[in-house]
Structure 1
Amino acid sequence: MSRFFITGRRNAGKSYIIEKIIESFDSYGFLTRFSKDNNTLLLKLIGYGNSESENFTIAKRNANGKMYPLKDGFEKATLMLKKIEPGGKLLVIDELGFLELCCEDFRNEVVRLLKGANKFVCVIRKEGNCFLNSLKKMEGTSLIMVDENNRRRVLELLLKEIKKPGSKPGF
C-alpha cells in the first residue's frame, strides 16, 4: 500500500505535487481551491464521472479577511462522498485543515475513504488540530514534509512509490 500524507508551509509546492499526480494516475477525491476573487473556498470533486464539475462552497472570507466554514457546503459534499466506494484508483485529497472541524459527518467520510483506499496522497495543513493529529496516527501511512527545496524530489519519489504494485509507505 502507498498511503501518504504531505504537509508543509504555504506555497511549498503541495498543490503542485497533487496536480502532477492527478495528471499521472487514474484518481478520485477532492480539491479545495479559492474562487477567482479569493474570498470563497470551493471543494471540487474529482474522478466521479458526471459530478466532476460539481463544486461545494465550504468557506467564505469575512470582513477581517479570516476564513469561516460553511457547514451546509460540507454537508452537501458529504452526501456525495457517501456514495463513493474506495476502489483501485488513487485517492487524492488537497487539502484538509481546520475548516472541517465544523462537520463531523464530513470528517467521518474522509476517514472512511482514507481507511478504505489502498493508495492515497492527502495534503494536510501543517498546523495541527484534533482531526489532523488523528489522521497522522493512521496505521500504514507516511507523513512527508514538503518545502521549496524538496518538492520535485518528493514528487518523483511519490510517483515511483505509487506505481509500485503492493508498495509500502516509507522512503
Structure 2
Amino acid sequence: MFQKGDYTLEIKFQGDMTKKIVGVYRASYFDKLANETRYVVSTKFQPTDARRAFPCFDEPGFKSTFSLRVVRPRNLTCISNMPIHSEELNTPEPGYTTVFFEKSVPMVTYLAPQYVVVSSTHKYHIPLAKQAPNVEYAASIAPKMVEFYEDYFQVKYPLPKLDIIGIPEFISGAMEH
C-alpha cells in the first residue's frame, strides 16, 4: 500500500494530430514568395481539448506544472510559452532535434505548454508585405499592454517570455495564449 506523500506518475502515450483546430493540429498556408504550401503544427487546448493531446484532468480548477519536449526535423523551428532549456541534435535520429523547454509555472491544462513548429528557420517571416504594419503594431503595443495590466491588477506576468505569432486558420473568441 502507498504511504502518504507526494508521488510522480509517468504515463507513456501517443496523441493524435488532427486537421481540426483542436488539441494538436496541423494548419497550412500558401507562401507566395516560395510559391509553395507550408505547414504549421500548433495547439489549441481551450476550453477542454488538452485531453485530445495527453491524459489529464482537463478542467479549469486543476493546475499542474509541465515539462515539454518536442522532436522536430532539424530544418524547422519551434516555440512554446516557456523558454528553451536545451536541445539535443540528431536525437532521436539523424536530421532531428529534440527540444527541451523549461518547466512551466503551475497552470491549467488549456494553457499547458503551447507549441508551434513552423516550416521556416527564420526568426521573422512575414510572407505578405502589407501585413508588416500589423506586425509592427502588435510588437510595439504588447509590452505596453503587459505593463499596463501588471500595474492595474498588481500582478506580475507569470511567464519568463511572451511570443506573438500569427497562426493560419486559427479561430478563437479570446485566448490568453
Range into which the TM-score falls when normalised by the shorter chain = under 0.3
Q: Which has the higher contact order (CA 8 A, sep 6+)?
A: 1
Larger Rg: 2
Q: TM-score, normalised by structure 2?
A: 0.26
Q: TM-score, normalised by structure 1?
A: 0.26
